[in-house]
Amino acid sequence: MLPALHEQRWQLPTPLPLDGSLEALNGPGKAALPAPLLALLWRRGFCTAETIDALLDPPSAPAAKGHFPDLAKAVKRLQGACAAGESLAICGDYDADGMTSTALLVGVLQRLGAQPVAAIPSRMEEGYGLNAAMVDRLAAEGIRLLITVDNGVSAQEALERAEELGVEVILTDHHTLPAQMPPHLALLHPVRTPVDSPYRGLAGVGLAYVLAAALCQSLKRQDGLEVARNLFCIGTIADMAPLVGVNRRWLIDGLPHLVKSPLAGLQALQQLAGLDDSPLDAQAVGFQIAPRINAVGRLGDPQLVVELLTTQDNNRALELARECEGLNRQRRELCSAIEAEALALLDADGPQRPPFLLLAQSHWHHGVIGIVAARLVDRFGLPAALLAGEGNGRLRASVRSPKGFAVDQALKQCAPLLERFGGHPAAGGFTIKAERVAELHEQLNGLAQSWLETTGRGNPVEPEALLRFEQIDRDFYHQLQRLEPFGIGHPQPLFWSSGCRVVSQKLLRGGHLQLELEQQANQLRAMGWRWQGEANLPACVDVAYRLKLDSWQGQPRLQLELVGVRPNTGADGTRDVVLRRRERTYWCRIEGDGWVVRNAAGGEIRSDNAAMEQHPYIRSLLQEAAMALGLVA
């Protein structure tokens, strides 16, 4: 979504060092990268050639047994289960991470001789994670071993019940550990690894893969690990796990093989998504494959995904993938309807938005309100909660927030008003009695207002490196691909270009903005998806964007996917850019071969004044002004 001009709050990056350290990153023997990519990496903390080399080619994963204290105990118990053909249960969550984790262990354990069954709770009827009723049901069916994936550490009642019934439990989870752990046979959790462990960023599917790989190694059976690696890639990207440590190493190794995966279900999903023979990168998985899997957990029965990702029957796989496709279509329609209703409710309250957007309708669907809350955050740059009816006078909410507003801390401060809650800084959820919603909104508004007073309103636009159109070609894009995979902890780079002439602009069906931009005789097409502003842009603009390789009539072409647009010229037609630095505001302008910076009192400093540049504050101010004007990266 591309916010309107007045709703954007641009923040340019930190100026680069002038001591030559950046140039030294491309020293002898080092793989050369273009200057804009080095600038981007330096700003992300990759300040040495060694750290850049480790990003491009991460070290191999160390032996997992030295990082997970309970791994040997878990493997020994599973060896016995495989040898005896024992029936056991895999209890997963109903999101993509939980469903792929479940499918991974079901598929591997079937090949190794055990009799695994998938046990995933219903989002609508049972809620998140293992519960005591599930334990009772599984124990009655003869299950004496249960493995949790992507849940379990907070299931105190269920695990105490399992202990009473003689059901052993292996916990694999990456959610916050409680102060007192419930009973269990073994625990695989990233926090239980050493503080500097490359396994620290694993999602649930990563822990399932560690367990499966260790078991296969102990039994000297490697069959099934290829499909396990495929599912690791899907689940890790879908869960937005940080792409560092072993996550990064295994994705670099595994993503190129997805397109030829032996998984019939993954091949069927690729076919329906129109990705038949295209290489699957992290973006394709995140935006094409993962939503089709997630839609099932939101609206349907998660067992569908487990069967899809474990069946070896191509016809059955295509049939199940079509069901996923139908649920994904239904998910999109529901999201559009709820979003339209939410916007109408906001409009009815007038043009002044509250600091915290909180909207409630009893008929909204629990499975998709989180998606709509995220859209409101993208549109308005404010934290948002959508509440749907749960019955018995209670409402269930999904919360999303912009960068900087911590959802988990906000909910913790409101805990006395809530029935239950949980989450992390960017997202969360809670249950509340209907009569307490107004009081909660008042308290959340106060927290959000305090946050806004330090950050200011508007959607943040934070480009990382300056690019000139003349630098953008297929070779640069190839160099950019060397930094993949992109995701949490290593996002897709956001570039910006200054002084771009708007050659043409067109508002397409669906509200998308298409631009032809020119900079020094170089033209590029730009797309602003779900543009929220006016149809007519200024003649000259600065643009912030991600670089994409698009296909037009079968021909690949580079295209800018816009994240931000701002006018490049002042009211008098001159290039006058506002620069805010600490508590002060400056106006910057190009004059001749240099530039001028003016303060609120009318005083000016010029870039060619050598005496003025000797002062550290003035020197850094001139450097920031040059960046704001698009003169340096």
- What is the domain class of 64-255 according to CATH? alpha beta
Least confident span in 131-145, 458-472, 587-601 = 587-601
> Across residues 76-83, what is the average pLDDT?
97
Please report which confidence band the pLDDT of residue 537 belongs to, taking 50, 70 and 90 as the band edges. confident
**What pLDDT, on a 0 to 100 scale, did the predictor assign at position 612?**
57
Residue spans per domain, the chain = 5-44+464-567, 64-255, 353-461, 576-628
Per-residue model confidence (pLDDT) at position 19: 61
Share of the chain above pLDDT 70, in %: 92
- Nearest CA to 231 out of 108, 323, 128 is that of 108
User: pLDDT class for 123, splitting at 50, 70, 90?
Assistant: low
Mean confidence (pLDDT) of the chain? 88
pLDDT tens per residue across span 450-473: 999 888 777 888 999 999 999 999
Mean local confidence (pLDDT), 565-577? 65
pLDDT at 530: 79
Check whether 595 has a pLDDT greater than 60.
yes
Confidence label for 617 from pLDDT (cuts 50, 70 and 90) = confident
Of the candidates 436, 540, 526, the residue with the CA atom closest to the CA atom of residue 2: 526
Structure confidence by residue, pLDDT tens digits, 7-65: 788 888 877 776 666 767 765 545 688 989 998 999 999 988 888 989 999 999 999 99
Band of residue 315 on the pLDDT scale cut at 50, 70, 90: very high
Least Cα distance to 429 among 463, 468, 388 occurs for 388
Query: 420 or 582: which carries more pLDDT confidence?
Result: 420
Whole-angstrom Cα distance, residue 469 to residue 233?
34
Length of the chain: 633
269-288 average pLDDT score:
85
pLDDT at 573: 47
Which range among 197-211, 392-406, 533-547 shows the weakest confidence by mean pLDDT?
Answer: 533-547
**What number does CATH give the domain 5-44+464-567?**
2.40.50.460
Between CA 52 and CA 354 the distance in angstroms is: 43
Buried b (16+ CB within 10 A) or exposed e, 7-27: bbbbebbebbeeeeebeebee
pLDDT confidence of residue 572: 46
pLDDT at 397: 95
Looking at residue 534, what is its pLDDT?
A: 67
Rounded distance between C-alpha atoms, residue 605 and residue 620, angstroms? 12
Confidence of residue 349 (pLDDT cuts 50, 70, 90): confident
pLDDT at 366 over 70: yes
**Confidence band for 208, pLDDT divided at 50, 70 and 90:** very high
Contact 242, 223 (CB under 8 A): no
DSSP-assigned letters across all residues of 89-151: EEE--SSHHHHHHHHHHHHHHHHTT-EEEEE---TTTT-SS--HHHHHHHHHTT--EEEEES-
Assign 218 a pLDDT band (cuts: 50, 70, 90): very high
Q: What is the mean pLDDT of residues 518-546?
A: 87
For the cut 50, the answer to whether the pLDDT of residue 571 exceeds it is no
Q: What is the C-alpha separation between 398 and 478, in angstroms, rounded?
A: 39
Amino acid type, 439:
E
Looking at residues 380-398, what average pLDDT do you find? 93
Percentage, residues of the chain above pLDDT 90 = 57
Average pLDDT over residues 276-285: 81
Tell me what the mean pLDDT of segment 52-81 comes to: 95
pLDDT of residue 323: 95
Please report the DSSP string for 273-316 in residue order.
Answer: TT-TTS---HHHIIIIIHHHHHHHHHHS-THHHHHHTT---HHH
Q: Return the pLDDT at 582.
A: 65
The Cα 48–Cα 265 span in angstroms is 43
Q: What is the mean pLDDT of residues 333-358?
A: 93
pTM of the model: 0.84
353-461 placed in CATH 3.10.310.30: yes
